[in-house]
Protein backbone atom coordinates (compact mmCIF):
# COMPACT_ATOMS: atom_id res chain seq x y z
CA UNK A 1 0.00 0.00 0.00
CA UNK A 2 1.40 3.39 -1.01
CA UNK A 3 1.78 6.32 1.36
CA UNK A 4 -1.22 8.26 0.02
CA UNK A 5 -3.48 5.23 0.05
CA UNK A 6 -2.44 4.39 3.60
CA UNK A 7 -3.20 7.95 4.74
CA UNK A 8 -6.58 7.83 3.02
CA UNK A 9 -7.40 4.52 4.65
CA UNK A 10 -6.33 5.88 8.03
CA UNK A 11 -8.53 8.93 7.73
CA UNK A 12 -11.52 6.83 6.76
CA UNK A 13 -11.35 4.81 9.96
CA UNK A 14 -13.14 7.64 11.75
CA UNK A 15 -16.03 7.30 9.30
CA UNK A 16 -18.30 4.44 8.48
CA UNK A 17 -15.52 1.81 8.53
CA UNK A 18 -14.67 2.22 12.21
CA UNK A 19 -16.62 -0.15 14.41
CA UNK A 20 -14.72 -0.66 17.66
CA UNK A 21 -11.75 0.37 19.74
CA UNK A 22 -9.68 -1.99 21.87
CA UNK A 23 -7.45 -0.43 24.55
CA UNK A 24 -3.91 -1.67 24.09
CA UNK A 25 -3.14 -1.27 27.77
CA UNK A 26 -5.21 -4.28 28.76
CA UNK A 27 -6.16 -4.19 32.42
CA UNK A 28 -4.75 -0.76 33.31
CA UNK A 29 -6.13 2.61 32.11
CA UNK A 30 -3.98 4.68 29.78
CA UNK A 31 -1.47 6.81 31.68
CA UNK A 32 -3.27 5.78 34.85
CA UNK A 33 -3.29 3.02 37.42
CA UNK A 34 -5.48 0.29 38.82
CA UNK A 35 -6.01 -0.54 42.47
CA UNK A 36 -4.78 -3.90 43.73
CA UNK A 37 -6.49 -5.88 46.48
CA UNK A 38 -4.05 -4.37 49.00
CA UNK A 39 -5.09 -0.86 47.97
CA UNK A 40 -1.79 -0.03 46.24
CA UNK A 41 -2.16 1.61 42.84
CA UNK A 42 -0.40 -0.27 40.01
CA UNK A 43 1.01 1.48 36.95
CA UNK A 44 4.20 1.30 34.93
CA UNK A 45 5.90 3.77 37.27
CA UNK A 46 4.75 2.22 40.55
CA UNK A 47 5.40 -1.36 39.42
CA UNK A 48 9.02 -0.53 38.59
CA UNK A 49 9.58 0.72 42.14
CA UNK A 50 9.26 -2.89 43.30
CA UNK A 51 12.76 -4.35 43.27
CA UNK A 52 11.68 -7.77 41.97
CA UNK A 53 9.72 -6.23 39.06
CA UNK A 54 12.59 -3.91 38.19
CA UNK A 55 15.12 -6.75 38.38
CA UNK A 56 13.05 -9.07 36.18
CA UNK A 57 12.25 -6.42 33.57
CA UNK A 58 15.74 -4.95 33.50
CA UNK A 59 17.40 -8.37 33.30
CA UNK A 60 15.16 -9.64 30.50
CA UNK A 61 15.11 -6.39 28.50
CA UNK A 62 18.89 -6.01 28.70
CA UNK A 63 19.62 -9.63 27.79
CA UNK A 64 17.15 -9.58 24.90
CA UNK A 65 18.64 -6.33 23.58
CA UNK A 66 22.09 -7.95 23.70
CA UNK A 67 20.89 -10.53 21.15
CA UNK A 68 21.61 -8.56 17.99
CA UNK A 69 19.33 -9.31 15.00
CA UNK A 70 20.73 -10.20 11.56
CA UNK A 71 19.14 -10.82 8.18
CA UNK A 72 19.84 -14.07 6.31
CA UNK A 73 18.83 -15.81 3.12
CA UNK A 74 19.10 -19.48 2.15
CA UNK A 75 22.05 -20.45 -0.02
CA UNK A 76 21.81 -23.06 -2.78
CA UNK A 77 23.61 -25.65 -0.67
CA UNK A 78 21.02 -25.30 2.12
CA UNK A 79 23.15 -23.18 4.43
CA UNK A 80 22.30 -19.64 5.46
CA UNK A 81 24.17 -16.50 4.38
CA UNK A 82 24.11 -12.99 5.80
CA UNK A 83 22.11 -10.55 3.68
CA UNK A 84 24.00 -7.27 4.03
CA UNK A 85 22.34 -5.38 1.18
CA UNK A 86 18.78 -5.21 2.49
CA UNK A 87 17.64 -1.69 3.55
CA UNK A 88 16.45 -3.03 6.91
CA UNK A 89 20.07 -3.56 7.97
CA UNK A 90 20.44 0.17 8.56
CA UNK A 91 17.72 0.03 11.24
CA UNK A 92 19.73 -2.51 13.24
CA UNK A 93 22.41 0.15 13.66
CA UNK A 94 20.42 3.40 13.84
CA UNK A 95 16.67 2.77 14.26
CA UNK A 96 15.90 6.49 14.57
CA UNK A 97 17.68 9.80 14.87
CA UNK A 98 17.93 9.65 18.68
CA UNK A 99 18.63 6.03 19.66
CA UNK A 100 21.07 3.24 19.08
CA UNK A 101 19.60 -0.17 18.36
CA UNK A 102 20.38 -1.34 21.90
CA UNK A 103 18.56 1.65 23.44
CA UNK A 104 15.59 1.24 21.12
CA UNK A 105 15.39 -2.51 21.59
CA UNK A 106 15.61 -2.34 25.37
CA UNK A 107 12.81 0.25 25.44
CA UNK A 108 10.63 -1.97 23.25
CA UNK A 109 11.24 -5.03 25.43
CA UNK A 110 10.52 -3.03 28.60
CA UNK A 111 7.13 -2.01 27.19
CA UNK A 112 6.50 -5.59 26.07
CA UNK A 113 7.34 -7.04 29.48
CA UNK A 114 5.28 -4.52 31.46
CA UNK A 115 2.30 -3.98 29.17
CA UNK A 116 2.35 -7.05 26.94
CA UNK A 117 2.58 -4.75 23.88
CA UNK A 118 5.43 -2.89 22.19
CA UNK A 119 4.81 -0.39 19.41
CA UNK A 120 7.05 1.38 16.89
CA UNK A 121 5.79 3.56 14.04
CA UNK A 122 7.52 2.84 10.71
CA UNK A 123 8.70 5.92 8.83
CA UNK A 124 9.32 5.21 5.13
CA UNK A 125 11.08 7.02 2.30
CA UNK A 126 9.55 7.86 -1.07
CA UNK A 127 10.12 4.32 -2.29
CA UNK A 128 8.36 2.77 0.67
CA UNK A 129 11.54 1.51 2.31
CA UNK A 130 11.59 1.79 6.13
CA UNK A 131 14.08 4.37 7.35
CA UNK A 132 13.10 4.86 11.01
CA UNK A 133 11.37 3.02 13.83
CA UNK A 134 9.77 5.38 16.37
CA UNK A 135 8.94 3.75 19.73
CA UNK A 136 5.59 4.61 21.29
CA UNK A 137 4.53 4.10 24.88
CA UNK A 138 1.75 1.46 24.89
CA UNK A 139 -0.21 3.67 27.30
CA UNK A 140 -0.71 6.09 24.40
CA UNK A 141 -2.07 3.57 21.86
CA UNK A 142 -5.64 2.51 21.15
CA UNK A 143 -6.11 -0.34 18.67
CA UNK A 144 -9.04 0.34 16.33
CA UNK A 145 -10.91 -2.36 14.45
CA UNK A 146 -12.58 -1.46 11.15
CA UNK A 147 -15.68 -3.20 9.87
CA UNK A 148 -13.78 -4.86 7.02
CA UNK A 149 -11.15 -6.30 9.38
CA UNK A 150 -8.54 -3.57 8.88
CA UNK A 151 -6.57 -2.57 11.98
CA UNK A 152 -5.47 0.96 12.88
CA UNK A 153 -3.54 2.41 15.82
CA UNK A 154 -4.83 5.62 17.34
CA UNK A 155 -1.76 7.24 18.92
CA UNK A 156 -1.89 9.99 21.54
CA UNK A 157 1.27 12.04 20.99
CA UNK A 158 3.19 12.51 24.25
CA UNK A 159 6.13 14.91 24.33
CA UNK A 160 7.49 17.35 21.78
CA UNK A 161 9.92 14.84 20.27
CA UNK A 162 7.19 12.32 19.55
CA UNK A 163 4.92 15.06 18.20
CA UNK A 164 7.67 16.07 15.75
CA UNK A 165 8.53 12.49 14.79
CA UNK A 166 4.89 11.57 14.13
CA UNK A 167 3.95 14.84 12.44
CA UNK A 168 3.61 13.17 9.02
CA UNK A 169 1.51 10.30 10.36
CA UNK A 170 -2.29 10.42 10.61
CA UNK A 171 -3.95 10.17 14.02
CA UNK A 172 -4.99 6.60 13.22
CA UNK A 173 -1.90 4.87 11.83
CA UNK A 174 -2.47 1.93 9.46
CA UNK A 175 -1.19 -1.46 10.59
CA UNK A 176 1.23 -1.49 7.62
CA UNK A 177 3.08 1.41 9.25
CA UNK A 178 3.20 0.02 12.79
CA UNK A 179 5.47 -2.67 14.21
CA UNK A 180 3.41 -4.26 16.98
CA UNK A 181 4.99 -6.95 19.15
CA UNK A 182 2.32 -8.52 21.32
CA UNK A 183 2.45 -11.01 24.17
CA UNK A 184 -0.26 -13.43 25.31
CA UNK A 185 -3.57 -12.22 23.89
CA UNK A 186 -7.24 -13.10 24.26
CA UNK A 187 -8.54 -11.29 21.17
CA UNK A 188 -5.70 -11.73 18.61
CA UNK A 189 -5.11 -7.97 18.57
CA UNK A 190 -3.86 -6.78 21.96
CA UNK A 191 -1.53 -8.44 24.44
CA UNK A 192 -2.56 -8.72 28.06
CA UNK A 193 -0.69 -6.44 30.45
CA UNK A 194 1.72 -8.41 32.64
CA UNK A 195 1.55 -5.92 35.49
CA UNK A 196 -2.23 -6.02 35.14
CA UNK A 197 -2.23 -9.78 35.62
CA UNK A 198 0.23 -9.52 38.51
CA UNK A 199 -1.35 -6.44 40.09
CA UNK A 200 -2.30 -8.16 43.36
CA UNK A 201 1.11 -9.77 43.75
CA UNK A 202 2.86 -6.48 42.98
CA UNK A 203 0.42 -4.58 45.21
CA UNK A 204 1.05 -6.93 48.14
CA UNK A 205 4.80 -6.48 47.73
CA UNK A 206 4.36 -2.70 47.70
CA UNK A 207 2.18 -2.89 50.82
CA UNK A 208 4.79 -4.98 52.64
CA UNK A 209 7.52 -2.52 51.65
CA UNK A 210 5.46 0.42 52.88
CA UNK A 211 4.71 -1.37 56.15
CA UNK A 212 8.42 -2.03 56.69
CA UNK A 213 9.19 1.61 55.94
CA UNK A 214 6.59 2.77 58.44
CA UNK A 215 8.08 0.51 61.09
CA UNK A 216 11.46 2.11 60.49
CA UNK A 217 9.85 5.55 60.60
CA UNK A 218 8.42 4.62 64.00
CA UNK A 219 11.74 3.48 65.39
CA UNK A 220 11.30 -0.14 64.28
CA UNK A 221 9.28 -0.75 67.44
CA UNK A 222 5.67 -1.82 68.04
CA UNK A 223 3.17 0.85 68.98
CA UNK A 224 3.30 2.01 72.62
CA UNK A 225 0.66 2.91 75.19
CA UNK A 226 1.23 5.60 77.80
CA UNK A 227 -0.33 4.33 81.03
CA UNK A 228 -1.38 6.35 84.08
CA UNK A 229 -3.81 5.92 86.95
CA UNK A 230 -4.97 9.51 86.72
CA UNK A 231 -7.52 11.15 84.48
CA UNK A 232 -5.85 13.48 81.96
CA UNK A 233 -7.42 16.38 80.23
CA UNK A 234 -7.55 16.38 76.45
CA UNK A 235 -4.82 19.02 76.23
CA UNK A 236 -2.55 17.09 78.60
CA UNK A 237 -3.04 13.86 76.66
CA UNK A 238 -2.26 15.54 73.32
CA UNK A 239 0.80 17.26 74.78
CA UNK A 240 2.20 14.02 76.23
CA UNK A 241 1.57 12.13 72.97
CA UNK A 242 3.32 14.80 70.93
CA UNK A 243 6.31 14.91 73.26
CA UNK A 244 6.61 11.12 73.33
CA UNK A 245 6.37 10.81 69.53
CA UNK A 246 8.96 13.54 69.01
CA UNK A 247 11.49 11.66 71.16
CA UNK A 248 10.44 8.10 70.39
CA UNK A 249 9.31 7.79 66.76
CA UNK A 250 11.72 7.53 63.86
CA UNK A 251 15.02 5.68 63.44
CA UNK A 252 16.87 8.96 64.05
CA UNK A 253 15.52 9.00 67.62
CA UNK A 254 16.62 5.48 68.48
CA UNK A 255 18.44 5.46 71.82
CA UNK A 256 17.16 8.82 73.09
CA UNK A 257 16.02 9.14 76.69
CA UNK A 258 12.37 9.84 77.43
CA UNK A 259 11.38 11.56 80.68
CA UNK A 260 7.79 10.88 81.76
CA UNK A 261 5.90 12.77 84.41
CA UNK A 262 3.35 12.18 87.12
CA UNK A 263 3.48 8.38 87.25
CA UNK A 264 3.02 7.78 83.52
CA UNK A 265 4.44 4.46 82.30
CA UNK A 266 5.05 3.32 78.68
CA UNK A 267 3.57 -0.07 77.74
CA UNK A 268 4.82 -1.60 74.46
CA UNK A 269 2.40 -3.72 72.43
CA UNK A 270 3.82 -7.12 71.50
CA UNK A 271 3.83 -8.45 67.94
CA UNK A 272 1.33 -11.18 67.19
CA UNK A 273 2.23 -14.44 65.45
CA UNK A 274 0.88 -12.96 62.20
CA UNK A 275 3.17 -9.96 62.56
CA UNK A 276 6.13 -12.26 63.10
CA UNK A 277 5.53 -13.79 59.64
CA UNK A 278 6.15 -10.41 58.04
CA UNK A 279 9.72 -11.17 56.98
CA UNK A 280 8.74 -14.54 55.53
CA UNK A 281 6.01 -12.86 53.50
CA UNK A 282 8.53 -10.37 52.11
CA UNK A 283 10.81 -13.23 51.08
CA UNK A 284 8.02 -15.07 49.30
CA UNK A 285 6.70 -12.16 47.20
CA UNK A 286 9.74 -11.72 44.90
CA UNK A 287 9.54 -15.41 43.97
CA UNK A 288 5.86 -14.94 43.08
CA UNK A 289 6.72 -11.99 40.83
CA UNK A 290 9.49 -14.01 39.16
CA UNK A 291 6.87 -16.59 38.16
CA UNK A 292 4.84 -13.94 36.34
CA UNK A 293 7.87 -12.92 34.25
CA UNK A 294 9.24 -16.43 33.82
CA UNK A 295 12.64 -15.56 35.30
CA UNK A 296 14.60 -18.07 37.39
CA UNK A 297 14.81 -16.47 40.87
CA UNK A 298 18.59 -16.83 41.12
CA UNK A 299 18.98 -14.62 38.03
CA UNK A 300 17.62 -11.63 39.96
CA UNK A 301 19.20 -12.40 43.33
CA UNK A 302 16.13 -14.02 44.89
CA UNK A 303 16.61 -16.93 47.29
CA UNK A 304 19.17 -17.91 49.86
CA UNK A 305 21.49 -19.34 47.18
CA UNK A 306 21.64 -16.85 44.33
CA UNK A 307 23.61 -19.33 42.25
CA UNK A 308 20.63 -21.63 42.02
CA UNK A 309 20.30 -25.28 42.92
CA UNK A 310 22.91 -26.37 40.40
CA UNK A 311 26.54 -25.30 40.58
CA UNK A 312 26.95 -25.66 36.80
CA UNK A 313 26.78 -22.10 35.52
CA UNK A 314 26.64 -23.18 31.88
CA UNK A 315 23.59 -25.37 32.62
CA UNK A 316 21.93 -22.51 34.51
CA UNK A 317 22.47 -20.09 31.64
CA UNK A 318 21.14 -22.63 29.15
CA UNK A 319 18.03 -23.15 31.29
CA UNK A 320 17.52 -19.37 31.53
CA UNK A 321 17.81 -18.96 27.76
CA UNK A 322 15.43 -21.87 27.13
CA UNK A 323 12.80 -20.81 29.67
CA UNK A 324 12.88 -17.01 29.53
CA UNK A 325 14.59 -15.83 26.33
CA UNK A 326 13.97 -18.17 23.41
CA UNK A 327 10.19 -17.84 23.16
CA UNK A 328 10.41 -14.05 23.21
CA UNK A 329 13.12 -14.10 20.55
CA UNK A 330 10.93 -16.29 18.34
CA UNK A 331 8.00 -13.90 18.83
CA UNK A 332 10.18 -10.98 17.66
CA UNK A 333 11.66 -12.84 14.67
CA UNK A 334 8.29 -13.96 13.33
CA UNK A 335 6.55 -10.63 13.92
CA UNK A 336 9.42 -8.67 12.35
CA UNK A 337 9.43 -10.91 9.25
CA UNK A 338 5.63 -10.66 9.01
CA UNK A 339 5.55 -6.87 9.35
CA UNK A 340 8.18 -6.21 6.69
CA UNK A 341 7.19 -9.03 4.32
CA UNK A 342 10.53 -10.81 4.47
CA UNK A 343 9.02 -14.21 3.67
CA UNK A 344 8.16 -13.05 0.16
CA UNK A 345 11.83 -12.19 -0.38
CA UNK A 346 13.06 -15.53 1.03
CA UNK A 347 14.79 -13.58 3.81
CA UNK A 348 14.54 -14.27 7.52
CA UNK A 349 15.78 -12.59 10.68
CA UNK A 350 17.63 -14.30 13.52
CA UNK A 351 18.85 -12.92 16.81
CA UNK A 352 22.29 -13.96 17.99
CA UNK A 353 22.05 -15.73 21.35
CA UNK A 354 25.75 -16.59 21.56
CA UNK A 355 26.51 -13.77 24.00
CA UNK A 356 24.07 -15.23 26.53
CA UNK A 357 25.57 -18.71 26.22
CA UNK A 358 29.20 -17.65 26.22
CA UNK A 359 31.00 -19.98 28.63
CA UNK A 360 34.16 -19.44 30.65
CA UNK A 361 37.59 -19.38 28.98
CA UNK A 362 38.51 -23.01 29.71
CA UNK A 363 35.15 -24.35 28.52
CA UNK A 364 35.35 -22.33 25.28
CA UNK A 365 38.91 -23.55 24.69
CA UNK A 366 37.89 -27.19 25.13
CA UNK A 367 34.86 -26.80 22.86
CA UNK A 368 37.03 -25.15 20.18
CA UNK A 369 39.55 -27.98 20.42
CA UNK A 370 36.85 -30.63 20.03
CA UNK A 371 35.29 -28.78 17.08
CA UNK A 372 38.64 -28.62 15.29
CA UNK A 373 39.69 -32.21 16.01
CA UNK A 374 36.32 -33.61 14.99
CA UNK A 375 36.40 -31.78 11.67
CA UNK A 376 33.35 -29.66 12.49
CA UNK A 377 35.10 -26.29 12.14
CA UNK A 378 38.46 -25.01 10.97
CA UNK A 379 41.07 -23.29 13.10
CA UNK A 380 40.29 -19.95 11.47
CA UNK A 381 36.57 -20.29 12.15
CA UNK A 382 37.31 -20.80 15.84
CA UNK A 383 39.77 -17.90 15.85
CA UNK A 384 37.21 -15.58 14.24
CA UNK A 385 34.61 -16.63 16.83
CA UNK A 386 37.00 -15.33 19.52
CA UNK A 387 37.73 -12.12 17.60
CA UNK A 388 41.21 -13.23 16.45
CA UNK A 389 42.68 -12.75 12.98
CA UNK A 390 42.83 -15.82 10.70
CA UNK A 391 46.14 -17.66 10.34
CA UNK A 392 47.76 -18.99 7.14
CA UNK A 393 46.72 -22.57 6.46
CA UNK A 394 43.95 -22.44 9.04
CA UNK A 395 41.08 -22.90 6.59
CA UNK A 396 41.57 -26.65 6.18
CA UNK A 397 39.21 -29.06 7.93
CA UNK A 398 41.03 -31.69 9.95
CA UNK A 399 39.79 -35.28 9.89
CA UNK A 400 40.45 -37.77 12.71
CA UNK A 401 42.39 -40.79 11.44
CA UNK A 402 40.02 -43.31 12.99
CA UNK A 403 37.11 -41.65 11.18
CA UNK A 404 38.68 -41.66 7.69
CA UNK A 405 37.43 -44.00 4.97
CA UNK A 406 39.54 -47.03 4.06
CA UNK A 407 41.87 -46.41 1.19
CA UNK A 408 42.26 -42.71 1.89
CA UNK A 409 45.54 -40.88 2.25
CA UNK A 410 44.70 -40.30 5.90
CA UNK A 411 44.41 -44.00 6.80
CA UNK A 412 47.49 -45.09 4.81
CA UNK A 413 45.76 -48.34 3.73
CA UNK A 414 44.72 -49.55 0.32
CA UNK A 415 40.98 -49.84 -0.35
CA UNK A 416 39.19 -53.16 -0.58
CA UNK A 417 39.96 -55.07 -3.82
CA UNK A 418 43.28 -53.37 -4.39
CA UNK A 419 45.17 -56.68 -4.13
CA UNK A 420 48.74 -57.15 -3.00
CA UNK A 421 51.71 -55.14 -4.28
CA UNK A 422 53.00 -56.82 -7.45
CA UNK A 423 56.67 -57.05 -6.39
CA UNK A 424 56.10 -57.48 -2.67
CA UNK A 425 57.25 -53.92 -2.03
CA UNK A 426 55.30 -50.70 -1.60
CA UNK A 427 55.55 -48.27 -4.45
CA UNK A 428 57.09 -44.85 -4.14
CA UNK A 429 53.72 -43.26 -3.52
CA UNK A 430 52.66 -45.68 -0.74
CA UNK A 431 49.65 -47.96 -0.71
CA UNK A 432 46.77 -46.50 -2.61
CA UNK A 433 48.78 -43.41 -3.62
CA UNK A 434 49.63 -44.31 -7.20
CA UNK A 435 53.14 -45.77 -6.67
CA UNK A 436 54.73 -47.85 -9.46
CA UNK A 437 54.24 -51.62 -9.14
CA UNK A 438 55.80 -54.56 -11.05
CA UNK A 439 53.71 -56.29 -13.72
CA UNK A 440 54.72 -59.87 -12.80
CA UNK A 441 51.85 -61.04 -10.59
CA UNK A 442 53.62 -64.34 -9.84
CA UNK A 443 56.33 -62.42 -8.03
CA UNK A 444 53.88 -61.68 -5.25
CA UNK A 445 54.12 -65.19 -3.79
CA UNK A 446 57.64 -66.04 -4.94
CA UNK A 447 60.47 -65.32 -2.56
CA UNK A 448 63.36 -63.34 -4.08
CA UNK A 449 66.25 -65.41 -5.55
CA UNK A 450 69.88 -64.69 -4.80
pLDDT tens profile 375-403 = 888 888 888 877 788 889 888 887 776 66
The more confidently predicted of residues 100 and 394 is: 100
Q: What's the pLDDT tens digit per position in 404-418?
A: 665 565 556 666 666
Angle CA(64)–CA(70)–CA(73) in degrees, nearest 5?
140
Residues 6+ away with beta carbon under 8 Å from 2: 128
pLDDT above 80: residue 98:
yes
Q: What are phi and psi of 178, to 5 degrees?
A: -135, 125
CB 118 within 8 A of CB 181: yes
Rounded to 5°, angle at Cα 353 from 347 and 355: 135
Rounded alpha-carbon distances, angstroms, from residue 83 to 68, 130, 345: 14, 16, 11
Average the pLDDT over 289-293 and give the result: 93
Q: Which residue has the higher pLDDT, 174 or 247?
A: 174
pTM > 0.95: no
Confidence of residue 306 (pLDDT cuts 50, 70, 90): very low
* Per-residue DSSP letter, 191: B
Helix axes 199-217, 278-293, angle to 10 degrees: 150
pLDDT of residue 17: 46
Using CB atoms within 10 Å of the CB of residue 303, give its burial: 0 to 12 exposed, 13 to 18 middle, 19+ buried. middle
* Mean of all residue pLDDT scores within the chain: 78
Q: Does residue 439 have a pLDDT over 80?
A: no
pLDDT band at 41, cuts 50/70/90?
A: confident
Residue 223 and residue 268: Cα distance in Å, rounded? 6
Q: Please list the alpha-helical segments (H only) found in 84-232.
A: 101-115, 160-165, 194-197, 199-217
Q: Is the pLDDT at 298 greater than 80, yes or no?
A: yes
Contact 14, 147 (CB under 8 A): no
Q: Is the pLDDT reported for residue 339 higher than 90?
A: yes
User: What is the strand order of the sheet 69-74 is part of?
Assistant: 80-82, 69-74, 347-351
**How many whole angstroms from its chain centre is CA 36?**
27
| Rounded Cα gap, residues 165 and 160, in angstroms | 9
Does residue 367 surpass a pLDDT of 50?
A: yes
pLDDT of residue 277: 63
Share of the chain above pLDDT 90, in %: 38
Residue 121: its H or E element: strand 117-124
Per-residue pLDDT for 223 more than 90?
A: no
Distance of alpha carbon 404 from alpha carbon 406, whole angstroms: 7
For residue 444, the model assigns a pLDDT of 44
In this predicted structure, what is the pLDDT of residue 436?
44
CA 50 to CA 193: how far, in whole Å?
A: 17
pLDDT confidence tier of residue 259, bands split at 50, 70 and 90:
low
Quote the CA–CA distance of 337 and 348 in Å, as a whole number: 6
Tell me the pLDDT band of 173, cut-offs 50, 70 and 90.
very high
Amino acid sequence: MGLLSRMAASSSVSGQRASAGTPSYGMIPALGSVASASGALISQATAMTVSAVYACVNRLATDLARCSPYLYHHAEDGSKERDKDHPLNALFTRPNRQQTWFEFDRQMWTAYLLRGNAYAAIRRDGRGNPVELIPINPDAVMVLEAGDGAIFYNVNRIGLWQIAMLADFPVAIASEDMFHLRDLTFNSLVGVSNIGLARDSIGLTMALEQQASRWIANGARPSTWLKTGKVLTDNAAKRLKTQFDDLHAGYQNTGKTVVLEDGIEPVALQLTSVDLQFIEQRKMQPEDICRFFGVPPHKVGVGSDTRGASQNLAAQDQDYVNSAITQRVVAFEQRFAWTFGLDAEDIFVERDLSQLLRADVMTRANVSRLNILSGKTTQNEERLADGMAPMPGGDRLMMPTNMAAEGSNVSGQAPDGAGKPASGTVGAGGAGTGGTAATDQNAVDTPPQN
